[in-house]
Structures are given as structure tokens and as C-alpha cells.
Amino acid sequence: MFDCSDEREPLQFTVGAGQVITGFEEAVRGMEEGQEKEFRIEPSEAYGEYDEALTQQIPRTVIRSDMEIQEGMMLLVKTHDGQEIPAKVAEVGDEQVTLDMNHPLAGKALNFNIKVIEA
């Protein structure tokens, strides 16, 4: 389980506005208030397939020297146009660090159990 709204406000979105992943939006389409549903979304309709091309080795020297780098930690990587992208540290070597810029849920099928509170 990666998310649950039992202890907080339910997720609110407008169907067709592109605010949630495609597969979720399609599964909710046509549901009525009070209706419950269980469904599975394949990676292609969620966060995409895992893409090896989105892993990159960088020299350790380009990371701040005061930062202790550990596998599994998240970093923000700045692109050439100034955009910041989250990246997971996949491997730490003596001279190189391997960053994984795939979404954490890329390549995973997602299972949902939802109830429409208000339509």
C-alpha cells in the first residue's frame, strides 16, 4: 500500500482534467456516488514501464562535498534548462554515483479499492 485516504480527506479531482494517472481516471469514469470498485492499472496506464535509459552515472565530484550520499536517498537533479527532477541514488561507487530518474512506481501494476464519496 502506498496511499490511503482513511485518515485524511479523500482525493478530489475532475474527470477529464488530467489530474490523475490515465488508468485511474478511466476506471472512475461513469461511477456513481456511493459506488465502490476494485481495479488494477498496468504500468502503461500508470507511471510507465521502467526505462533503463533513465539511469545515469555521474562523477561523485558534481555532488556537494558536504553531502553524505547513500543508496536509496533522493536528490533533485537540475536539467540544462533549469528544471529540477527527483532522482534516486541507485548505487554509490568510489568515483561514480548511479542515479535513477524513473518514477518510483514505474514498471509496477497498481491495485486500487475506491469508493466515490461525491460525484
Cell numbers that stand for 19 in this block: 489530474
Average per-residue pLDDT in the chain?
90
**Residue 2: its pLDDT value, please?**
59
**Residue 100: its pLDDT value, please?**
97
Q: Could you tell me the domains of the chain?
A: 1-49+106-119 (3.10.50.40), 52-100 (2.40.10.330)
**Residue 105: its pLDDT value, please?**
93
**Residue 3: its pLDDT value, please?**
65
Q: CA end-to-end span of the chain, whole Å?
A: 25
Whether 73 shows a pLDDT value over 90: the answer reads yes
Residue 97's pLDDT band (cuts 50, 70, 90) = very high
- Is the model more confident about 16 or about 43? 43
If one counts every other C-beta atom within 10 angstroms of the C-beta of residue 64, the result is 8
Residues 6+ apart with CB under 8 A from 111: 38, 39, 40, 41
CA distance 34 to 116: 5
